């Protein structure tokens, strides 16, 4: 063996031999083989992502606003959109888990909003009243009413207004829902009836005889509520805290035995009847929860918006709320919240930049989701999670995203404009971000990072001047976004073709 010519040819005989002590051998023998736990990596990633998003929304953004890097109007807008996320949570419980498509959620949203607006428009709530109008809301004067109606007086108390804002919609949902479900109305007929309720309520609230402001609604609240830094940040953090609590509550409901019953009503209602359950009560529970969530969103929305009108309870607005959940991904609570934020920001951005093109963008967005992402943004996230479970390195995506946001913040300061043409600043930043991003091969992760950076840039008002220009009548930022997302899509299809060709070659080689 020592003079084996094969060992001479490969040079193995010249290699030094390594000797081990008895203790080292015992350690080597006792060591267990290391393996990658994909589920553990996924759970760790989820916890870190949730913590990072929560800190960014409710710690970093208020701090940036205090430093003057984020305008107060952007914080106020984000606070209002978080109210829509509260509504989306209730819709997801009602539609995503229980399968009940309600088209009157905007009505419950306005019920909570009107209860809060009644308090804010009175002197006890800081409302702007004048002696010549008898120190009551001004619209009463134009309706020939000199004294505050008796049913308005309890709303001078904040505690009563808050209780009424939640209790009245819950009672209406209970009575209305019980009568509908007892009649075994389901499917599209349920949606039609709720749509009729929303339309009837809209016509009723538009009448001046209701003494709720008519088509003008209720306004003239304390001007500092949506203008002063302290009040804006307070309501923003309050909305974020309430949203967090309601999300935890919704997750507890959907993850419990009751949540499994909700899904059973959606998928196997006949089987549930044969097992001595009462789907009527389960549906009623989901309907009331959806109404309460919508009402709470309306309560938080009114002081940040400064006005509430019947136009918000139209049928179109209820359909718009359903679209939030559909695009975000029904059946996943966080998908409903993200959908509410992204769709409203997309509407705000597009109508500001290209108001005439918004209907076409809206239709194209919906068609793209139906054709390519039938599960909404949740499908893209699930593909990203599959990459994490399979062992794909994704830390570079997060690092690139953080670098991009930091670069935008630096550009917003006085340092940015002082850099000649911003080349010595943006070129290294883009190169580092791309290097970190493409260190990972998760294309869904890259697409999510690009969308996150784009909407963060728009939401916080951090769009660089170079991207605010237009080319062919379209802002440059949209060209850049489409090129990047299109490139990711092309690479995805190339990988699929490569994998398909490889499989066919292997099959041919086997034969």
Each residue of 92-146: pLDDT tens digit?
999 999 999 999 999 999 999 999 999 999 988 888 877 777 778 888 877 788 8
pLDDT at 8: 47
Read off the pLDDT band of 170 (50, 70, 90).
Answer: very high
Read off the pLDDT band of 468 (50, 70, 90).
Answer: confident
Rounded percentage of the chain residues whose pLDDT exceeds 70: 86
pLDDT at 376: 78
Domain residue spans of the chain: 70-371, 382-462+469-503
Residue 23 has pLDDT above 50, yes or no: yes
Residue 75 has pLDDT above 90, yes or no: yes
Selection from 229, 223, 302, 224 nearest residue 71 by Cα: 229
Read off the pLDDT band of 16 (50, 70, 90).
Answer: very low
Dig out the tokens for 176 from the structure: 């209305």
Mean pLDDT of the region 38-49: 84
Dig out the tokens for 3 from the structure: 């003079």
Specify the range with the lowest mean pLDDT, choosing from 89-98, 294-303, 399-408: 399-408
CB atoms within 10 A of CB 114: 29
Alpha-carbon gap, residue 177 to 160, rounded angstroms: 25
Residue 301 has pLDDT above 90, yes or no: yes
Are 459 and 345 contacting, i.e. CB atoms less than 8 angstroms apart?
yes
Mean pLDDT of the region 353-360: 80
Specify the range with the lowest mean pLDDT, choosing from 122-131, 163-172, 306-315, 485-494: 485-494
Alpha-carbon gap, residue 362 to 356, rounded angstroms: 11
Dig out the tokens for 174 from the structure: 């209970």
pLDDT at 110: 95
Specify the range with the lowest mean pLDDT, choosing from 117-126, 188-197, 243-252, 363-372: 363-372
Q: Please report, for residues 15, 71, 255, 404, 412, the alpha-carbon distance to residue 426 in angstroms, rounded to integers and kept in the order given.
A: 51, 23, 46, 10, 13
Global pTM value: 0.86
Alpha-carbon gap, residue 80 to 65, rounded angstroms: 16
Residue 375 has pLDDT above 90, yes or no: no
* Chain centroid, CA 387 distance in Å: 22
Residue 446 has pLDDT above 50, yes or no: yes
pLDDT at 2: 47
Alpha-carbon gap, residue 257 to 430, rounded angstroms: 49
Residue 349 has pLDDT above 80, yes or no: yes
pLDDT at 428: 57
Residue 76 has pLDDT above 90, yes or no: yes
**Bridge-partner residues for 471, per DSSP?**
474
pLDDT at 20: 52
């Amino acid at each position: 063996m020592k003079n084996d010519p094969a060992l001479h040819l490969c040079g193995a005989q010249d290699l030094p031999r390594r000797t081990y002590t008895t203790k080292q051998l015992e350690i080597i023998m006792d060591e267990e083989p290391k393996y990658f736990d994909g589920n553990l990596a996924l759970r760790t990633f989820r916890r870190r992502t949730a913590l990072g998003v929560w800190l960014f929304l409710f710690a970093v953004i208020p701090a940036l606003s205090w430093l003057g890097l984020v305008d107060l109007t952007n914080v106020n807008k984000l606070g209002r959109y978080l109210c829509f996320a509260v509504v989306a949570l209730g819709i997801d419980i009602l539609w995503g888990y229980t399968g009940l498509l309600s088209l009157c959620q905007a009505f419950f949203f306005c019920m909570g909003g009107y209860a809060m607006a009644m308090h804010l428009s009175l002197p006890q709530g800081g409302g702007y009243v004048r002696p010549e109008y008898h120190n009551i809301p001004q619209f009463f004067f134009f309706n020939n009413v000199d004294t505050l109606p008796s049913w308005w007086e309890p709303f001078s108390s904040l505690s009563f207004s808050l209780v009424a804002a939640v209790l009245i919609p819950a009672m209406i949902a209970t009575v209305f829902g019980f009568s509908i479900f007892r009649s075994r109305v389901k499917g599209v007929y349920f949606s039609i009836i709720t749509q009729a309720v929303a339309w009837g309520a809209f016509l009723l609230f538009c009448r001046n005889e209701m003494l709720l402001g008519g088509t003008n609604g209720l306004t003239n609240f304390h001007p500092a509520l949506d203008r002063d830094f302290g009040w804006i940040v307070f309501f923003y953090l309050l909305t974020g805290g309430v949203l967090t609590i309601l999300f935890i509550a919704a997750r507890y409901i959907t993850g419990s035995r009751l949540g499994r019953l909700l899904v059973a009503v959606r998928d196997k209602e006949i089987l549930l009847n044969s097992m001595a359950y009462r789907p009527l009560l389960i549906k009623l529970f989901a309907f009331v929860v959806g109404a309460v969530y919508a009402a709470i969103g309306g309560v938080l929305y009114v002081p940040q918006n400064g006005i509430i009108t019947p136009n918000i309870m139209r049928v179109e607005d209820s359909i718009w709320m359903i679209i939030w959940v559909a695009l975000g991904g029904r059946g996943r609570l966080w998908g409903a919240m993200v959908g509410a934020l992204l769709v409203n920001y997309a509407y705000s951005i597009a109508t500001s930049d290209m108001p005439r093109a918004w209907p076409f963008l809206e239709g194209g967005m919906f068609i793209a989701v139906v054709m390519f992402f039938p599960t909404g943004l949740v499908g893209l996230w699930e593909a990203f999670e599959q990459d994490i479970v399979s062992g794909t390195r994704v830390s570079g995506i997060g690092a690139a995203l953080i670098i991009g946001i930091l670069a935008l913040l630096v550009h917003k300061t006085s340092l940015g404009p002082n850099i000649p043409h911003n080349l010595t600043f943006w070129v290294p930043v883009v190169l580092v971000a791309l290097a970190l991003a493409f260190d990972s091969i998760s294309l869904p992760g890259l697409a999510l990072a690009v969308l996150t950076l784009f909407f963060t840039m728009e939401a916080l008002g951090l769009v660089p001047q170079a991207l605010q220009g237009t080319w062919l009548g379209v802002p440059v930022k949209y060209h850049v976004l489409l090129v990047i997302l299109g490139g990711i899509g092309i690479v995805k299809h190339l990988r699929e073709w490569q994998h398909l060709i490889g499989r066919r070659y292997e099959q041919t080689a086997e034969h």
